Structure 1
Amino acid sequence: MTKKQLTFALSIRDDISDANLFSNGISQNIIFLCDLFELLGHKVILLVNTKRQQKKVSFRSKQNYKIFTVDELVEKNIQLDIAFEIGQILGIKQRNSLAKLGAKMVTVHCGNQLIMDMEILFYGDGKDTGRRHISDITNHVWIIPQHAHQLTYMEVLTEAEVNICPCIWEPSFLPLKHKSSMKFRRTPNIYVMEPNMSVVKNALIPITIIEALHRESPDIFNKAYIVNGMRIHKHPYFLNNIASNFHSTNAKLTPDKVYFTPRAPFHDAFTHYDVLLSHHWRNELNYLSFEALYYNIPMVHNSVAMKSVGFFYPDFDARLGKEALRSALTEHKSNFKEHEQLNKQFLKTISIHNPTVQEKYKQLIDKALSS
């Protein structure tokens, strides 16, 4: 196992800033990786495509990160050990340049690439003609645990060794002050905050669960907010085939009960201990869920990997989801301390300060360097 100080470069989107960090989980993941690598004693550089006047960038997590283009690295002859393609695709010319600087190439997939590829193939507009998967000069691919199902797909696609890297998260970007000011509400609200951009994370099952509970106990919750929901609310198919069958989303039958709203940061939505109702398909470790645990928000979810926390229901089961939602609305306050302790225990397992997490990344780095 290598103990010397290494230099890593991680690609990140050009427009990264504090303002858009919350809207992009991959960018947060890159910063967590940078902080982890520095904890392991290594140097990190952020890679962008567009040259910047300022050669350092800082985020709420306090650090100043060096930021360069590949051409600038070549001009300065900055030698690298590993280049991580993660937040922005690196073209063949860039890969060749990085290889000449001594870098091994590791592609890190934080998204559910297999399902995304299916969606592009069958539902795309045909305009996505750029090359996403570049096997040329790719030594290793890392995927996160929730996407283990796509490991062999990525192996064949990239002709590289594919390994699972631990999920990592820190509350670095969250306002600590907000946590101490939260209060309970007599009758809680429900929030659904899925992105609604894909079949992987969308609000259809949560809306169905809300309807199922509303039919039996309409007064058990105050209001429900489908955040990021404007696209669904305007969709003719939803209006004609789903909402028309549901009382809770029908403004004529049940006014002022379910609201569809634009996107909002988590800490803007949750000023009280209201309920987060979520659903995923093959995407069970989400930063949104970790934020809920950090703030001790009662979370209703279908993530097997997080079964020890929150209120679990399996798969797409709207009826069991209804009962989990009922429990979250009625039991969280009385069991708050127990949930708080379980939440802390879970978050420790994904912390960059966790020795087990650090050891696994050391092993992955060694593998990448030895290829």
Structure 2
Amino acid sequence: MRIGISVITHANQNIWENGMSQNIIFLVQSLKAIPFVKAVDLINVGGQPGMAEQIDLSLFDLHLMSEQEATDAFDVIIELAGALSPHWLALQRARGKKVVFYCVGQPYVGLAEYNVFEKPTSFPPVDRSDEVWVLPKDKGYIPMLRTMYRCPVHVTPYLWDPLFVSRRKQEIAEHGFYFGWRDNLQDGVKTPLNVAIFEPNISVVKTSSIPMLACDEAYRAEPQSIGMMHVLNTLHMKDHLTMLYLANSLNLVKDHKACFYGRHDIAGFMAQHANAVVSHQWCNDQNYLYLDALYGDYPLIHNSPWLKEFGAGYYYPDFNAAEAGRLLIHAWQHHEENLGSQRQASQALFKATSPLTEANIAAHAQLLTNLCADRPELLRN
């Protein structure tokens, strides 16, 4: 079996701008470990001859080709990052190839928000694929997706590996910066936490509103617990009245202990400015941000039921900003003594998401076996 995965390339691309490029590499690693998979390569639907500079394709034995070059190259085509031509996909399916739509974004938001907020988008033909694969975080949307795309929908493993964040950690270390938690006890006194909020603020599923309230709740209760609140990915809405009203209502802003930024990668920013992360999601509880923060042993205050199952980070339910603030104070006081149990929980999480863990390889093998049940010749080792 030969598998092609779609990728989108553009100028000044960076793997830290979203998780798709990393997701592709992790998927490649898992698929290549399946005995009956002969080759995995990439189909370029963008305008550049290469991917982000952080990805050396030769290290993964990957080739990047155009749709035209890929016409005879694959038995299974996975549309993941960037939409393939509907006419090209129709041709491939007519020739007996299998097409999978690998849905990484929150599917309901992608369907609804673009209409409500008049965002530019495209809507390719709904009948272009043989199957849809969704991440566990989106399994609740399977009935909707099955109805919309008129084909079987299956859950695929959520994959992550410290490959990229560990490389970034090494890069910044060469410039004298350290990515990772350091004890905040100095001369017997707990030093304040400098909190970073990394929510992208481009959809209601991941915004900085609740984390900002949580930080201010902690600051009002224990002013010495917070040294600075850093809110990233906010420059595009810094002049919006709602954002201004919310920000100006916070004691942290009134006391000049809040900064607002554009986009930064987590390792570079944490190493220079922060030592704790507060996060919030709405029906989107799997996120590379969490795993990167936990890899750095930082206190992560979150509302992800998925992380809660592993005991990783400090969990608050739903939109409970007050509880998040209480947990932030708890982390300020006790994270160093909790470090052993937090590391143990994180390691269990990392093992569960590893592309090369036996369970994830087997799950992908089963998905491909079901997909190609009518093509048994593709399933031979």
Normalised by the size of structure 1, how large is the TM-score? 0.89
Distance 1:160 1:168, change over 3 A: same
Corresponding position: 1:71 with 2:72: no
Distance 1:54 1:141, change over 3 A: closer
Aligned equivalents of 2:211 and 2:64: distance in 1? 40
For 2:135, the equivalent position in structure 1 comes to 144
Q: Answer whether contact 2:80 2:103 (CA < 8 A) is retained.
A: yes
Following TM superposition, by how much is the alpha carbon of 1:50 offset from its aligned partner in structure 2, in angstroms?
Answer: 5.2
Paired residue type of 1:360: A
Following TM superposition, by how much is the alpha carbon of 1:99 offset from its aligned partner in structure 2, in angstroms?
Answer: 2.5
Paired residue type of 1:93: H
Distance 1:330 1:261, change over 3 A: same
Q: Answer whether contact 2:179 2:296 (CA < 8 A) is retained.
A: no
Paired residue type of 1:300: I
For 1:191, the equivalent position in structure 2 comes to 196
For 2:344, the equivalent position in structure 1 comes to 341
Aligned equivalents of 1:54 and 1:217: distance in 2? 50
For residues 168-227 of structure 1, give each alpha carbon's deviation from its aligned partner in whole angstroms, at most 9, with x where no partner exists.
Answer: 111111225359764334322111001111101010000111121121111112111001
Residue identity over aligned pairs, in percent, reads 23
* Unaligned runs of at least 5 residues, structure 2: 185-190, 375-381
Q: Answer whether contact 2:138 2:284 (CA < 8 A) is retained.
A: yes
For 2:10, the equivalent position in structure 1 comes to 15
For residues 127-170 of structure 1, give each alpha carbon's deviation from its aligned partner in whole angstroms, at most 9, with x where no partner exists.
Answer: 43x324x2334110000001112111100000010001110111
Following TM superposition, by how much is the alpha carbon of 1:16 offset from its aligned partner in structure 2, in angstroms?
Answer: 7.9
* Residue among 113, 131, 134 paired with 2:123: 131
Distance 1:156 1:284, change over 3 A: same
* Residue among 43, 47, 57 paired with 1:47: 43
Corresponding position: 1:289 with 2:319: no
* Unaligned runs of at least 5 residues, structure 1: 1-5
Following TM superposition, by how much is the alpha carbon of 1:52 offset from its aligned partner in structure 2, in angstroms?
Answer: 6.8
Q: Answer whether contact 1:196 1:202 (CA < 8 A) is retained.
A: yes
For 2:158, the equivalent position in structure 1 comes to 167
Q: Answer whether contact 2:156 2:364 (CA < 8 A) is retained.
A: yes
Question: 1:46 is paired with a residue of what secondary structure?
Answer: strand
* Residue among 229, 232, 257 paired with 1:227: 232
Question: 1:27 is paired with a residue of what secondary structure?
Answer: helix
Q: Higher RCO, 1 or 2 (CA under 8 Å, sep at least 6)?
A: 2
Alignment of 1:103-142 (within 5 A): 103-125=97-119, 127-128=120-121, 130-132=122-124, 134-142=125-133
Aligned equivalents of 1:335 and 1:258: distance in 2? 27
Following TM superposition, by how much is the alpha carbon of 1:15 offset from its aligned partner in structure 2, in angstroms?
Answer: 2.4
Question: 1:191 is paired with a residue of what secondary structure?
Answer: strand
Normalised by the size of structure 2, how large is the TM-score? 0.86
For 1:93, the equivalent position in structure 2 comes to 87
Aligned equivalents of 2:126 and 2:327: distance in 1? 44
Q: Answer whether contact 1:70 1:98 (CA < 8 A) is retained.
A: no
For 1:59, the equivalent position in structure 2 comes to 55
For 1:258, the equivalent position in structure 2 comes to 258
Corresponding position: 1:243 with 2:234: no
Give the paired residue count.
Answer: 353
Q: Answer whether contact 1:277 1:301 (CA < 8 A) is retained.
A: yes
Q: Answer whether contact 2:194 2:229 (CA < 8 A) is retained.
A: yes
Aligned equivalents of 1:271 and 1:223: distance in 2? 15
